[in-house]
Amino acid sequence: MKTVLTFRVHWQRSLVLFLGLLLPVVALAGHPGTVPDMPQMPAGNEPVLPLPPPPVVDPLKLELGRRLFYDPILSADGAVACVSCHDLADNGAQRVARPVVRPGQRHLVNAPTVFNASLNAFQFWDGRAGSLEEQIDSVVRGELEFATSWPELVARLKAREDYVQAFQRVYADGITPANVRDAIASFERTLLTPGSRFDRYLRGDEAALSAEEKQGYQLFKDYGCTACHQGVNLGGNLFQRLGIFGDFFAARDEISSADLGRFTLTGREQDRHVFRVPSLRNVAVTAPYFHDGSVTDLKQAVRLVARYQLGRIIPERDLSRILAFLKTLTGSYEGRPLDGKRR
């Protein structure tokens, strides 16, 4: 019996690794939205790619997108802007489990960082948007976000002569829903955080990582973490069930609709508790973790992922090395390291 159980566990782990490598292709092919091309593997067949430089965007469009990102005029009550949940002066998110943007209105899910979000194949924890433009559409209509409609939003912008002129300088047809989406998405695509020590290592700088950090990266691969966290964003390009080797939600007194993941969209039982795999870029400074922000400590988050996603208990020594590696994924925005310190 012990032999049979051991075989079964190893078979399950092998299946998880296989599916983790297969699902990015399946998920991308099956998603109806527009998704970026899958990047090529770097030299040496590493499962992770260094970040590209930020795209070059027309300066007038970039400034318009930045202005819209910060302006609460986009919301029905003039109280909420994109930056309300995604603080670019900090880590691109909020340091709370679930944001409160209006008194008494708490989001059902944790706000993921907007930094490097353009490199995700899907947006939102349930992956309901296949592009930044689709994501903006959802935020405009969302009751806990802008709580408005495109006709109302466009009317508010057209009532402002400064916005009328700004759009006319960039777009021949002026203020339209498509142009608002394009301006904000174009700005968000520049929100990349290059310059991490790990990216320098991937590009050939062996001295960028210490021996412990290199060992941590090797362990990260050996334990199978790259089955889900690979590519340029170390995640963001496939869906996975939270709780493959155990019931992650067993101790919950109540299961919210947000805990159901993609099931709320598809109604398919196989999508229950299935979420978009998060990016690990800047993971050391983007706590709290998981879709509900229920874990604030990175070490605890890694332990839980190892237990429920890999069926493993990672020894303390290995865990410390993996954590050392994860801390090398922190990059910079506009020359400011995202080290978790406000300036």
Q: Give one DSSP letter per residue of 163-214, joined into a string.
A: HHHHHHHH-TT-S-HHHHHHHHHHHHTT------HHHHHHTT-GGGS-HHHH
Q: What is the pLDDT of residue 34?
A: 31
What are 193-225's pLDDT values in tens digits?
999 999 999 999 999 999 999 999 999 999 999
Interval 227-231 mean pLDDT: 96
Residue 168, Cβ neighbours under 10 Å: how many? 12
Decide if pLDDT at 182 tops 60: yes
The phi and psi torsions of 14 (rounded to 5 degrees) equal -60, -40
The Cα–Cα gap between 53 and 22 comes to 28
Q: Based on the domain organization, do 172 and 271 belong to the same domain?
A: no
3-state secondary structure of 148: coil
Domain coverage including residue 264: 2-52+193-337
Q: How far, CA to CA in Å, does 242 sit from each of 98, 181, 259, 270?
A: 18, 32, 9, 12
36 in the same domain as 98: no
Residue 10 lies in a domain: yes
**Band of pLDDT at residue 44, cut at 50, 70 and 90:** low
- Note whether 234 and 329 are within 8 A (CB): yes
- Domain total in the chain: 2
Nearest to residue 26, comparing CAs of 239, 279, 277? 239
Give the dihedral sign, CA 233/31/11/39: negative
269 is catalytic: no
Question: What is the domain-level CATH number for residue 169?
Answer: 1.10.760.10
Mean of per-residue pLDDT scores for the chain: 88
Phi then psi for 142, rounded to 5 degrees? -65, 130
The reported pLDDT for the residue numbered 340 is 56
| Residues 180 and 97 occupy one common structural domain | yes
Q: Which long-range contacts (CB under 8 A, 24 or more apart) does 257-266 make?
A: 257/108, 258/108, 258/109, 258/125, 258/291, 258/292, 259/291, 259/292, 261/125, 261/126, 261/291, 262/126, 262/127, 264/126, 265/126, 265/128
pLDDT exceeds 80 at position 24: no
224 and 327, same structural domain?
yes
Whether residue 197 is found in the same domain as residue 184: no
Same domain, 115 and 242: no
Q: Is the pLDDT score of 176 beyond 50?
A: yes
Catalytically annotated residue among 63, 133, 134, 145: 145
Q: Is the pLDDT score of 342 beyond 80?
A: no
Which of residues 159, 188, 217 is at a domain's end? 188
pLDDT of the residue at 341 = 58
Asked if residue 30 has pLDDT above 50, the reply is no
Domain final residue pick, 188, 223, 240: 188
Using an 8 Å Cβ cutoff, are 317 and 274 in contact?
Answer: no
DSSP state of 227: G
- Would 295 be classed as within a structural domain? yes
* pLDDT at residue 101 is higher than 90: no
Angle between helices 59-70 and 161-170 (to 10 degrees): 140
| Mean pLDDT of the region 302-306 | 98
Beta-carbon contacts of 278 under 8 Å, excluding residues fewer than 6 positions away, are 112, 235, 236, 289
> Domain check: are 288 and 331 in the same one?
yes
Which residues neighbour 98 within 8 Å (Cβ) at sequence distance 6 or greater? 106, 107, 108, 109, 110, 111, 292, 293
CA angle, 289 then 295 then 299, to 5°: 90
**Residues 157, 71 share a domain:** yes
Evaluate whether residue 343 is within a structural domain.
no
CB-based contact 318:217 (threshold 8 Å): no
CA distances from 208 to 41, 174, 204, 281, 325 (A): 20, 47, 9, 17, 11
The pLDDT, as a whole number, for residue 200 is 97
Is residue 235 in a domain?
yes
CB atoms within 10 A of CB 25: 12
Same domain (yes/no): 31, 64: no
First-to-last alpha carbon distance for the chain, in angstroms, is 59
